[in-house]
């Protein structure tokens, strides 16, 4: 039986198989775009927990969250609340996002932006750079070891930070094997979409000194944020609770525990 992740990744791989654009030509184009803003640098060494605030219209598990959101307005609101970075969904079929959402959000503020999508092809990495993203997401569970290494190296060559996302200890080992220095622990199981709020704390001791660490999913309030800060995390990536909050700026501020 296919899982949520299987279905989403298969859809993206099918789209990549139909893509006849030249990787070399795309890389040449990427060399001409402006410098990135430094996603990982914005999370490192802060006195308080960094918040990566997400722009997310819907999810496969919860359905519509804020389908009519204005990405530019929400980006400015997050920045006002003290967000360190943005994460913007660009997957259309499953999350209702778009490249236009990312570009509008980034143009409206000074924050570095993660392209939140399912990277399955080298051209996806270059596309992130071309659309103006400052970081790209690499989900270990969706990639082979050779893909993970190649995409991580390509991102670095293009000036992109790569948030390497893991869901268990074996995936963390794979991330470390390719030299990942920006590591996200997604506490949501992408097979069942259930959340294990203890997972990030369990995996943190296995991460090396100097890595920038991000806890993802299951962060509901200041108490969750404090727990993750105590476990040693540099940042949290929060979507649903911010998007659905009546006051997103205040919600961001509440998550920034020292």
pLDDT digits (tens, 9 = 90+) for 22-41: 999 999 999 999 999 999 99
Which residue is catalytic, options 53, 59, 87, 216? 216
Which residue is catalytic, options 53, 59, 79, 116? 116
Residue pLDDT, tens place only, 191-215: 677 888 899 999 999 999 999 999 9
Cα distances (Å, whole numbers) of residue 122 to 75, 126, 184, 207 = 28, 7, 20, 26
Structure tokens at 53: 């605030």
Which residue is catalytic, options 54, 79, 171, 240? 54
Predicted confidence at residue 60, as pLDDT, reads 83
Please give the Cα distance from 135 to 85 (Å, whole number).
10
- Residue 186 known to be catalytic: yes
- Residue 191 known to be catalytic: no
Predicted confidence at residue 195, as pLDDT, reads 87
Q: At residue 2, does pLDDT exceed 80? A: no
Which residue is catalytic, options 59, 87, 186, 241? 186
Helix, strand, coil % in the chain, rounded to nearest 5: 45, 20, 40
Q: At residue 155, does pLDDT exceed 90? A: yes
Residue pLDDT, tens place only, 113-153: 999 999 999 999 999 999 999 999 999 999 999 999 999 99
Please give the Cα distance from 40 to 115 (Å, whole number).
13
Task: Please name each of the domains of the chain with its CATH number.
Answer: 41-255 (3.20.20.70)
pTM of the prediction? Answer: 0.96
% of the chain exceeding 90 in pLDDT: 88
Lowest mean pLDDT among 3-17, 57-71, 155-169, 187-201: 187-201
φ, ψ of residue 198 to 5 degrees: the values are -100, -5
Which residue is catalytic, options 56, 79, 87, 240? 56
Which residue is catalytic, options 53, 87, 217, 241? 217
- Residue 202 known to be catalytic: no
- Residue 116 known to be catalytic: yes
Nearest to 114 by CA among 48, 161, 80: 161
Instruction: Tell me the CA end-to-end span of the chain in Å, nearest whole number.
Output: 44
- The pLDDT-based confidence of 258 (bands split at 50, 70, 90) is low
Cα distances (Å, whole numbers) of residue 55 to 8, 58, 105, 175, 246 = 19, 10, 8, 26, 15
């Amino acid at each position: 039986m296919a899982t949520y992740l299987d279905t989403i990744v298969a859809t993206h791989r099918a789209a990549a198989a139909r893509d006849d654009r030249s990787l070399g030509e795309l890389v040449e184009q990427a060399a001409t775009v402006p410098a990135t803003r430094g996603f990982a640098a914005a999370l490192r060494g802060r006195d308080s927990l960094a918040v990566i605030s997400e722009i997310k219209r819907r999810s496969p598990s919860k359905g519509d969250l804020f389908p009519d959101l204005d990405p530019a307005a929400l980006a400015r609101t997050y920045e006002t609340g003290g967000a360190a970075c943005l994460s913007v969904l660009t997957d259309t079929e499953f999350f209702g996002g778009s490249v236009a959402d990312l570009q509008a959000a980034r143009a409206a503020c000074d924050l570095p932006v993660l392209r939140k999508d399912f990277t399955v092809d080298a051209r996806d990495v270059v596309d992130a750079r071309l659309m103006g993203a400052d970081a790209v997401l690499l989900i270990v569970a969706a990639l082979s070891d050779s893909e993970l290494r190649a995409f991580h190296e390509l991102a670095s060559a293009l000036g992109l930070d790569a948030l390497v996302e893991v869901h268990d200890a074996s995936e963390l080992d794979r991330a470390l094997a390719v030299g990942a220095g920006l590591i996200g622990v997604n506490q949501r199981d992408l097979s069942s979409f259930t959340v294990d709020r203890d997972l990030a704390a369990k995996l943190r001791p296995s991460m090396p000194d100097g890595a920038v660490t991000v806890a993802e999913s299951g962060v509901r309030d200041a108490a969750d944020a404090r727990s993750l800060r105590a476990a040693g995390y540099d940042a949290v990536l929060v979507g649903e609770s911010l998007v659905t909050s009546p006051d997103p700026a205040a919600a961001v501020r509440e998550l920034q525990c020292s």
